[in-house]
Amino acid sequence: MSTDQHKIPQATAKRLPLYYRFINNLHHQGKLRVSSKELSEAVKVDSATIRRDFSYFGALGKKGYGYNVEYLLSFFRKTLDQDELTKVALIGVGNLGTAFLHYNFMKNNNTKIEMAFDADKGKVGEEVGGVSVYHIDQLEDMLKNTDVAILTVPSSEAQNITERLVEAGVSGILNFTPARITVPDHVRVHHIDLSVELQSLVYFLKHYPLDEEE
Amino acid sequence: MSTDQHKIPQATAKRLPLYYRFINNLHHQGKLRVSSKELSEAVKVDSATIRRDFSYFGALGKKGYGYNVEYLLSFFRKTLDQDELTKVALIGVGNLGTAFLHYNFMKNNNTKIEMAFDADKGKVGEEVGGVSVYHIDQLEDMLKNTDVAILTVPSSEAQNITERLVEAGVSGILNFTPARITVPDHVRVHHIDLSVELQSLVYFLKHYPLDEEE
DNA sequence: TAGAAGTCGTGATTTTATTCACATTCTTTA
DNA sequence: TAAAGAATGTGAATAAAATCACGACTTCTA
């Protein structure tokens, strides 16, 4: 699986799913070819950056022509392991957790939320967005083949639950709590901190008048 | 308002709200001083990076001592305009929108979601999480003193609504839709793309075995 | 078929961000 | 009061990312 050529820059790796989604759209629209310029306008990434990103995977395009949509799509499908399903567990069926269960992460995706956990017995046994909710005490029992967890618990619980997830063998956590969790080296955490996002947007608005920079 | 010394790097600016929140915690815990090393462990940012970040604002600490929590807090409060309220509107009271309305963005924050809009007449007139929901047709009328909008509409509506927001004077948009919206130069958009986040986490897990890099 | 237009892939450059490493200064302790 | 220890702030080095700019090739058009 990870037989890959290894030096894809992180910044590039983060953009791949975005490219994939857009190429997929193009394909559905029946487009046959696309240039880095067109892609650039659609995904708001500089066209040179796109060409550079693609070039890490070899020569995917043709000079003077652009990229063949079908080829690009099948290439990215392989590269992003779109044919392999990654099982995801969601911990914490509160407002945000519930929203994610309803949110269709699956549309042309290789990930599926397979189960959810909550400490509230009132929620246990329910199905939310087609996903069964189990009690948090069952975490260790149920979490056998699950590599990825979405953490939407109250921040006070974040570290504690994280340790149980790691113990249960989870190797990737998407952390929506404001807490910065501590994990062993072999576990990867991506933080999405909603308040920070909003606050930093506000900071930029007030302190970085546009029209003159960036 | 934007009388500030101008060359705070963007990467630094994005970390400020995080620092602020943690310093605020420390203050509530009654801590009087803190070192960049301690901060580093808590927020998971290298201590040299923290010192560098702070140094853009001048010498906030004391050699051999660290930083005075109270001073740091009041400094960041000023810098992040914590005493000025930024009004926010939320567009699209679906699953995600509803979650955000309940989510307390306000805990020690300078932002407040003041109103919400939706196209569904069934939702109009309701209060969700203490915020009134108006019909999307009233957008232009109501959105007078609002600078920031949170966009949680279906992606097919994203561009259209964006144009109306911009027209109504909004200058910052937090876009949770997968669509990459187009805006005039004076408007700032931050994208939070949940599927991309999940997918890129999965990509990293499969292709960047930890323990050897990063 | 020839010239014009379009577009990639990439070396070179520039910009941005991170990290090292240490002189300097403050605090603590005996 | 003197020595040891702690921690900053920052010049310099490094690393990572973005962008420029152009040769090479493809396609289109007349």
Nearest-neighbour CA in chain A from B99: distance (Å): 5
| pLDDT-derived band at A109, boundaries 50, 70, 90 | confident
B18: amino acid identity, one letter: L
Query: Per CATH, the architecture of A10-79 is what?
Result: Orthogonal Bundle (1.10)
Cβ neighbours for A161, distance < 8 A, ≥ 6 positions apart:
A91, A92, A136, A139, A151, A153
More confident position, B58 or A108:
B58
Across the interface, whether the CB atoms of B210 and A4 are under 8 A apart is answered no
- Report domain extents, chain A: 10-79, 86-196
Q: At what angle do helices B36-43 and B10-28 cross, to 10 degrees?
A: 100
pLDDT at B211 over 60: no
Is this model's pTM higher than 0.85 or not?
A: yes
pLDDT exceeds cutoff 70 at B108: no
Q: To the nearest whole angstrom, how far is the Cα of A47 from the nearest Cα of chain B?
A: 15
Tell the CATH superfamily of the A86-196 domain. NAD(P)-binding Rossmann-like Domain (3.40.50.720)
Q: What's the mean pLDDT when you consider all of chain B?
A: 92
Most A CBs within 10 Å, among B87, B90, B199, B211, to test the A interface: B199
* Sheet with B127-128: strands ordered across: B127-128, B131-135, B111-118, B86-91, B148-151, B172-175, B188-191
pLDDT, one tens digit per residue, over A121-169 is 999 999 999 999 999 999 999 998 899 999 999 999 999 999 999 999 9
Report the range of poorest mean pLDDT among A11-20, A87-96, A110-119, B1-10.
B1-10
Computed over every residue of chain A, the mean pLDDT equals 92
B130: left (phi over 0), alpha (psi -120 to 50) or beta: left
Chain D: bases < 7 Å from a protein Cβ: 5-11, 16-21, 23-27
What percent of chain A has pLDDT above 70?
93
pLDDT score recorded for residue B2 = 41
Task: Supply the pLDDT for residue A103.
Answer: 85
Put simply, the chain B residues between 1 and 20 with a CB less than 8 A from any chain A CB are: 1-2, 4, 6, 8, 10, 13-14, 16-18, 20
Q: For residue B7, name the pLDDT band (cuts at 50, 70, 90).
A: confident
Res. B189 pLDDT band, cuts 50 70 90: very high
Burial class (CB in 10 A: 0-12, 13-18, 19+), A8: middle
In this prediction, what percent of chain B has a pLDDT beyond 70? 93
Inform me whether the pLDDT recorded for B210 exceeds 80: no
Cα dist from A209 to A38, A212, B6, B186, whole Å: 28, 7, 10, 8
pLDDT at position B109, please?
Answer: 75
The CA-to-CA distance between both ends of chain B, in Å, stands at 39
Minimum-distance CB partner of A210 among B188, B196, B200: B188
Considering only CB atoms, which chain A residues are within 8 Å of B100?
A: 194
- E strand segments, chain B: 33-34, 67-68, 86-91, 111-118, 127-128, 131-135, 148-151, 172-175, 188-191
Distance, CA of B115 to C1' of D13, in Å: 50
Of A111, A174, A199, the CB nearest to B80: A199
Picking from A185, A197, A203, the nearest residue to B80 by CB comes out as A203
**CB of residue A48 closer than 7 A to nucleic acid strand C?**
yes
> How many angstroms separate the CA atoms of B137 and A167, rounded?
51
Share of chain B above pLDDT 90, in %: 86
B151-165 pLDDT per residue, tens: 999 999 999 999 999
